[in-house]
Amino acid sequence: MRDTFVGNRLPALAGVTTVLFGIAIALIFFYAPTDADQGISQRIFYFHVPIALTSYACFGWGAWKALRVLWKRDHRADVESYVAIHQGTIFGALTLVTGSLWARATWGHWWLWSSRQLVLFLVLFLFYCAYFMLRFSVEPGPRRANLSAVYALFGVVLTPVSFLAIRLAEDFIHPTVFTRDGPQMTGSMFAAFCVSLAAMLTLFATFYSIELAGKRIDAQIRELREALS
């Protein structure tokens, strides 16, 4: 069933991702207007925010799979949780890098330690970096799966804190685009943002499927090698 997915649906998913990225780039640079306040640097927003939201989605998916490890004793969910968190950490690193470039272009600083939301996202990122240290310091087996799952569930609590910090912070340095009154941008800007978000989420789905398939084949080869020795 899963091999069928990799064999048949994965190329389609990769194709959809490529098409969505093409449309997103065209909308960002040829359709969305230049922001009156920030100028061209605002165009980083169309990649930076979808990447950040995708990293939250990855951590959330990883926590859901971790919950399945602890609740249903689903041993397959352990590697699924690990792969989702791995992807989330990659998207998290990209959030920090693109955010830093945007900060330099608009605020004139690469990083501001006084901005709570930046520091909170860094804490979230470092927390998930430590997940790998914990995971690989324990021998493979049920103990490692349980420890990793508990850690992943603790980590997901930080995600809404990081997300809400942008709204609750009092320093007003980090822009708040999505308010209770809806998105504070034009329709064409919002369309570019939505397509970009869809592109990032399908990129995550594609990479998640590829990495998961690789991990499973690796495990099967290891089992086969042990059986033959």
Summarize as ranges the residues that interact with other proteins (CB under 8 A): 39-41, 43-44, 47-48, 51, 90, 93-94, 97-98, 101-102, 104-106, 203, 207, 210-211, 214, 217-218, 221, 224-225, 228
- Least distance in Å: CB of 63 to other proteins? 22
d(CA 56, CA 17): 19
Nearer to other proteins, 98 or 146 (CB): 98
- Least distance in Å: CB of 94 to other proteins? 6
Nearer to other proteins, 70 or 101 (CB): 101
- Please list the helix, strand and coil fractions of the chain in percent, rounded to the nearest 5, in that order: 80, 5, 15
Nearer to other proteins, 151 or 208 (CB): 208
Nearer to other proteins, 122 or 147 (CB): 122
Nearer to other proteins, 57 or 203 (CB): 203
Q: For 63, what's the count of Cα atoms within 13 Å in the CB-facing half-sphere?
A: 17
Nearer to other proteins, 41 or 146 (CB): 41
- Least distance in Å: CB of 64 to other proteins? 23
Q: Token pair of 215, please?
A: 């991990």
- Least distance in Å: CB of 67 to other proteins? 27
* DSSP letter, residue 36: T
- Least distance in Å: CB of 153 to other proteins? 26
In 51-78, which positions are buried (b, 16+ CB within 10 angstroms) versus exposed (e)?
A: bbbbbbbbbebbbbbbbbbeeeeeeebb
Q: Which pairs from 169-175 meet CB under 8 Å and 24+ separation?
A: 169/115, 169/116, 169/117, 171/114, 171/115, 171/116, 173/107, 173/112, 173/114, 173/115, 174/115, 174/117, 174/118
- Least distance in Å: CB of 22 to other proteins? 13
